[in-house]
Amino acid sequence: MTASSLPAAGASRAPVGRLRRFWDSSVGKKVVMAVTGLGGIGFVVAHMAGNLQMFVPGTPAQAMHEYALGLRKLGPLLWVARAGLVVMVVLHATAALQLIARNRAARPVPYSRRVGQVSTLGAKTMRAGGILLALFVVFHILDMTLGVGHPQFVHLDPYNNLRLGFQRWWAVLFYVVAVIFLGLHLFHGAWASWRTLGLRRASDRPLHRNIAIALALFVTLGFLAVPVAAALGIFEPQTVVMDAAHTPEAAQ
């Protein structure tokens, strides 16, 4: 058998090679950042909408409990979604760090003056904001999903966990600061990803800039509502009927 008679093996490696070349290119990393960033936006919008059930009239504690239980009832699908979220965050952060390193290596001496760049607070806080958000998410999962360090955590009672958790002033402050950084990160990220994916040319006053602002404001205000309302004492104590608390799903 000659070397030229082995196209099948080469063909099976080709997609992997193409993927590798795509990931190694700066454009490939930016596309990965854009796509995973858009996935992240989908998650935060859904999460924020779920949190607003805290304001459901009548029995918000029960609504939040059933929402949390409903997620657990997804069973393996919930774990697939969680794994997908972790993969997205890891890809997003790895591509960002590699692009930063690449840019630094290409220009060890910084520009004395940058002309023609649209620099917003969002753009300037991308790195610090990204790191703060990563730390926030670790704290937040320990606090609200696992109850580590929470003063009175009850599994599958998110209403009262949030109500009591936000009686700690420093936790309210951390959430508020993290959510403001999330808004800035989203604003710049939503705007930049639009350009990376080639949906629009760079410009300082395009329509999608307003869409990015609206999205960032919507998510920021929606997320701020719960810690701020809790700090103001708006949420009354409520009891949850939790007959499903000891099912296997409840242990996830």
Q: Which CB, 95 or 172, lies closer to ligand HEM? A: 172
Give the binding-site size for ligand HEM (rule: CB under 6 A): 20
**Is residue 61 involved in binding ligand HEM (CB under 6 A)?**
no
Q: Which CB, 77 or 101, lies closer to ligand HEM? A: 77
**Is residue 33 involved in binding ligand HEM (CB under 6 A)?**
no
Cβ neighbourhood burial of 44 (10 Å; 0-12, 13-18, 19+) = middle
**Is residue 44 involved in binding ligand HEM (CB under 6 A)?**
yes
Q: Which CB, 35 or 44, lies closer to ligand HEM? A: 44
Closest CA to 40 of 123, 119, 162, 137: 137
Between CA 159 and CA 55 the distance in angstroms is 10
Beta carbons within 10 angstroms of residue 237's beta carbon: 9
- Percentages (nearest 5) of helix, strand, coil residues in the chain: 75, 0, 25
> Could you tell me the smallest distance in angstroms from the CB atom of residue 145 to ligand HEM?
4
| Residue closest to ligand HEM, measured at CB | 68
DSSP state of 120: -
Strands (E) across 109-228 are located at none
Q: Which stretch binds ligand HEM (CB under 6 A): 23-31, 115-123, 220-228, 235-243?
A: 220-228
Provide the binding-site residues for ligand HEM, judged by CB under 6 A.
Answer: 44, 47, 51, 68, 71, 82, 133, 137, 140-141, 144-145, 158, 162, 175, 179, 182, 223, 226-227
